[in-house]
Structure 1
Amino acid sequence: MTSGKVRWAIVGTGGIGKRTVGDLRLCPDAEVVAIGSRSRANAEAFAQAHGLALSFDDHAQLCASPDIDAVYIGTPHATHFALAAQALRAGKHVLCEKPLTMTGDEARELGRIAAEHGVFLMEAMWMKFSPAMRKAVELVGQGAIGEPRLLQAGLGYPVPPDGPKRFWDAALGGGALYDMGVYTITLAQMFLGRLEAISVTGRTQPDGVDLEEAITLRYAGGALAQLATSITCLVPPRGWLGGRSGAIDFLEPLFSPGGLKITTGKPPAPPAVQELSFAREGAGYVPMFRAVNAAILAGSTEHPLHPVSATAEVLDIMQRIQAALAQERDARSAG
């Protein structure tokens, strides 16, 4: 980073890795220099396709390279903890695809390792950094819709049985919850405060892969979130937040909203409606990458918009949901 740029390696040669290269290259303080994969052939092919100087099929060697400052981990969920821990202990900054880990305790352990080694760590929750979501947070903070009371959000789509293994392999963290439900739960946590209770119903396979779920979260003060996700049917990627004096609609896609619709007023008077649209930079990751690069160059070990503690809270909730779904499945089987 002596040049004022963060030198990035991408771990994983799938679709996420390809989008990451393009969006990092839109950040003037970032340089993509390397790719890591379990396969030498895949690593070399990716490096050639994207003009990268370095390619690795050994994660330890990647982490030991003096030419790399930070790694972006875009591999299946269940591999995140081990890959991130190894990179952090080698003194590399880490930005990792959601979910950061499979449990809250694993996330907290990664946070401890990052702090111990003085390096940056964050789950790549790009939704929080999108211009639309930043504006929504600002509006709620200003009281534009009054006290938030009810949030509804959904995200899902049918994944064929021969689709990506990360959806269908329990050992990889498969299912709807960890891949897509993480967004809706994070959204609720952003706006509704302290969680008090969880109720959920859904369908889970015997191997633990959850197919779909409807979740209700109750917060201190009585606010509610109703969330839905699925890998068996289409759940449009959008949501809304209702307050005592108005509402905010998050336009599609929820994980990087293209706009907001703000409705205020009190019936029977006609509502006032304001619509805001936001241009997308690259594939939508650019605002997050820009913020992370700035934090790394400033010597921070996490970002205030998405600290590790927030990630761990969401993972704790997902573990409770997963346990409840398994209990429901077992009860149905016994009946």
Structure 2
Amino acid sequence: MAIKLFIREHISYVLFQVVLIAFLLVLFWLDGLRNVSTAIYVIAISMLLITSFLVVRYMLRRRYLAKIVELPVRMEDALQKNSKTSEYAITEQYLSELYKIYQHEVQTLYATQSRQYKFMNQWVHQMKTPVSILELLLQQEEELDKKSVQEEVERLKRGLEMVLMHARLENFSDDMQIVQISLKSAVMTAVNDNKRLFIANRVFPEVEVDEAIVVMSDLKWLRFFLEQFITNAVKYTFEPNKKIYISAKKIEHQIHLMIRDEGIGIPMADLSRVTKAFYTGENGRKTGESTGMGLYIAKEICDRLGHQLVITSEVDKGTQIEVIFQS
């Protein structure tokens, strides 16, 4: 197979040499063909040189040609080094780089699928809790506790919103529209949407955002990570009658939005890892409701929108989340 490929590769070269020899014979014939032995000698030497060139060329390419004519069994076959010429060495280097790109894309795809699978498993497991509670409430003979039902429905809604946003994150650029947004309006919408959560946990928001402050962002994604930060602040504030402070200020060419709570805080050992996928940390184990995906998705959103996310915390004193918008 290698010799056949070599012949097909050099058939044009051989034909060119035949035409060249024929041209030399024509020249000898036009010159009167006075010395036949000289013409035969020139033709013989030309044939010998051509044959020697092709033989040497084939020997240099034989191992490489033998490799490429056989169907590969593994992707690692592309990494074999068999070339003895600069041309084929560059080809092998090209294949090696292509293999690295392929490996990177496969690993990225595998990591994405693994993350989605793990997230869905955790999410389904956690959604069983509100569904089970709703079933118990419906089985009770006394009058249905609408407040309890509403709380579980809210948990289901937040869970559904989380999984929907996680699915959309894979096609983020197709689902993004950057516009001017009134920051106070977006904050108040997030606060009002979580009014029942504030009341149920007896935690109260205090908003100090100037109505004139405008940021460039995507409204849907902005509302999602604002709601995530607010629900986290409320969820990890265990003592009643505490406050969530939401404020914003302009510093040079940046808008700084701060969301500060008076909750249990984040241990220093967990602070650098709270935005990693599935990392629940010490606080997540206390509540038993954390998927470890909320802050991860929020961080991903901020990065893709070009917003900087800064988290500072002190145990037993509270946590502050700061989002920095470029104005």
Shorter-chain-normalised TM-score: which range?
A: under 0.3
Greater strand share, structure number? 1
Query: Which structure has the highest helix share of the two?
Result: 2
Which has the higher Rg, Structure 1 or Structure 2? 2
Q: Give the TM-score, by structure 2 length.
A: 0.20
Q: Relative contact order (alpha carbons < 8 A, sep ≥ 6): 1 or 2 greater?
A: 1
